[in-house]
Structure 1
């Protein structure tokens, strides 16, 4: 079971990360771009999810395009999900209470890589291979 403290530790351990807010919710940014954020579910989200509404906290993470999104949703259906509001948007929602530490690290680090500007990745030896 992950916590926001775990997300903070992982995100802020990455290069050039700043904590901030987006739409009044806590988020982590690199190069001014949000890559991980708290994503409460609104009434419409809950209605869209029906019986599938998670009980706990929800985190959103950026992913590598629609293909990356589809792969992640297929590979981790117990933890990762989406809502109609995210249609066409390269991000998935994560059940924070159900994600294990290994997957959490992978999700946050991958989201950072997707959003980090090339100069930041190069400056920290993390350029694409």
Structure 2
């Protein structure tokens, strides 16, 4: 399986579960939430009134990924070539949104980095340091 192929929803699940100390928590509507140390880092969002299509229908397939900083968020959502977006509900929140139906616009390797960065943004300093040391870097990528 090539890391360069387009990402799929199944990859989100595989990559999130592959990170250490991950728990899968059911959301209030049965949606899947991935957590590290009780802190969400990736979750499948239920349809909400702040994320709608051009007809005003609520988007049923939004995935939320934590990011390290506002600069990281802006780099993703301001690049018109990516499917990442945000809504006013997430103003000031360190996360980006993407529709599952648009994941194929992202290479799997980029999705892997996004999931890893989301985990790193939410993991405890001890867990973050251990993961970074194991993966050959002493600081955040």
Scaled to the shorter chain, the TM-score interval is 0.7 to 0.9
Q: How does 1:17-96 map to 2 (within 5 A)?
A: 17-24=22-29, 25-46=31-52, 50=54, 57-75=61-79, 77-96=81-100
* TM-score with structure 2 setting the length: 0.75
Question: Which consecutive unaligned segments of at least 5 residues does structure 1 have?
Answer: none
Q: Flag the structure with higher helix content.
A: 1
Cα-to-partner distance string for 1:11-65 (whole Å, 9 max, x where unaligned)? 111111111134432110111110000013323432xx64697966211000112
**Which residue of the partner structure matches residue 10 of structure 1?**
15
Aligned residue pairs, count = 127
Distance in 2 between the 1:14 and 1:76 partners? 29
* TM-score with structure 1 setting the length: 0.81
Question: Which consecutive unaligned segments of at least 5 residues does structure 2 have?
Answer: 1-5
1:66 Cα shift?
Answer: 1.3
**Which residue of the partner structure matches residue 123 of structure 1?**
130
Q: Is the 8 A contact 2:76 2:82 kept in 1?
A: no
Distance in 2 between the 1:52 and 1:43 partners? 8
Indicate how the Cα distance of structure 1 residues 68 and 52 shifts in structure 2: closer, same or farther if over 3 A, else same. Answer: farther
Name the Cα RMSD after superposition: 2.6
Cα-to-partner distance string for 1:53-93 (whole Å, 9 max, x where unaligned)? 79662110001121111111123653100011001111110
Q: Is the 8 A contact 2:22 2:34 kept in 1?
A: yes
**Which residue of the partner structure matches residue 104 of structure 1?**
111
Distance in 1 between the 2:112 and 2:88 partners? 26
Classify the secondary structure of the residue corresponding to 1:40.
coil
Q: Flag the structure with higher strand content.
A: 1
